[in-house]
Structure 1
């Protein structure tokens, strides 16, 4: 069984994330969405809320694709998380060239820690490349419309959190 790990903070999960998740299901039999705790980023949504969002957004996709998709919170090293969930592949999404330098360094470090775990980069579709959770939160906070960047369910959660 090919197991992939797609890590991120997903605060909140965007259509860009969902694009990468959908495309990753073609590569693996089981896709683990590693929801990073990452206290340094000061997430808008709690870990439990982010995991619940991922589970809700991926339920139908899992049925459609036949790929098992599970959310897995983690706070340890990414490579250790890969070991914990039995992943042979780490999936990373790239939005722009600016992402590549950081991701390139990360791959090098992960390869030094474990040469058996491969990293695969997926480019977001052009219409999703500019979407970043940080920008989505800022636009919503300033009363802009983020409905074209997130699903209706996530949009409602953002509005409830930021405009209450």
Structure 2
């Protein structure tokens, strides 16, 4: 990459088409299976349930970069450029398959959890992988935490895993950075920028040849104005109607902050349960005026208020509220998203009314389960 990069690239729209964007999930799985079978040095049974469960992990909805597309891109490059040694190719493919099988952006133990899943699957399904090869793959997976290669397998795998960062064009780098941003959207902008700057600096020291790429991303991060939606409400409780609005808003913005207001009329106290329902989103509690909260978030981003509508009465109410907000902050922007017809009847107050009766769990259909897997153990995920 030339050091004389076009600075006009820096504020460009953040979503970039990826190599496999137009492939269906079924096509991705079929191609990964084909490549794994072609390099199946240890004759593993890829029709066994373990293989499907591993691929299912790469489809978890909080993933934007660590996905089937990323896995396939690594497998493709291994087949295109790996040495003629079939055993090394087999080990590289298995390292690719398991290196991100557990990926949660919170904390720094995903690599350890991936190794735990690797060991569990080997034992549970009796995979015929020699112990020394298992040890090599474990080391390679763990080395991805700091890109610290201790042997040939780890060194080769880092080249495949970090291909975009090491060799990507500006367009590739912007697409990569946006996908990583979406995975870490539970962080506020200050925390995210601080963490990414540390990563870029560490990566530059580890791979001096990619310093130009890292500097490009640092400058982009400093200049970029993120498009943020603030989905505000009391969410007491948060239900599938709320989730539907949130998912629609995520198609419109780079990220959506879920802002939980303290409404004296509804006598809502701070409740951290929503953080567990939406573990991969930024959930913020506020007790100020909405316009003041939006102003606070506008330091690093272009912020738009997001509200859901069930009917015309909701629209009338929201229009009145917007008039008040614009009187205090004229630049306030808002979008109103109609809920799906089949969800119009759901409200937090109605669900709260149900708690007065013995409904025997029949109200569970109204509560989101999208991210329940985050609380599951390795045995529950892969057993």
Q: TM-score range by the shorter chain?
A: 0.7 to 0.9
Q: Name the structure 2 match of 1:57.
A: 277
Asked whether 1:121 is paired with 2:336, we answer yes
Q: Name the structure 2 match of 1:100.
A: 315
Distance 1:152 1:135 in 2: 19
Counterpart among 325, 338, 345 of residue 130 in structure 1: 345
Q: Name the structure 1 match of 2:270.
A: 47
SS state of the match for residue 230, structure 2? strand
TM-score by length of 1: 0.78
Q: Which runs of 4+ in 1 moved over 6 A?
A: none
Shift of 1:152: 5.2
Unaligned runs of 5+ in 2: 1-225, 371-383
Unaligned runs of 5+ in 1: 63-68, 154-164
Asked whether 1:150 is paired with 2:150, we answer no
SS state of the match for residue 237, structure 2? coil
Distance 2:235 2:248 in 1: 17
| Higher Cα Rg, which structure | 2
TM-score by length of 2: 0.35
Distance 1:37 1:15 in 2: 21
Distance 1:16 1:38 in 2: 20
Distance 2:258 2:357 in 1: 29
Aligned residues: 140
Q: Relative contact order, CA 8 A, sep 6+: which one is greater?
A: 1
Deviations 1:63-109 (A, max 9, x none): xxxxxx31111111111111122252000000111111111101111
Asked whether 1:17 is paired with 2:242, we answer yes
SS state of the match for residue 366, structure 2? coil
Distance 1:108 1:11 in 2: 25
Distance 1:152 1:24 in 2: 19
Query: More helix per residue: 1 or 2?
Result: 2
| CA-atom RMSD in angstroms | 1.8
Query: More strand per residue: 1 or 2?
Result: 1
- Given that 1:3 and 1:28 are in contact with CA atoms closer than 8 Å, whether structure 2 keeps it comes out as yes
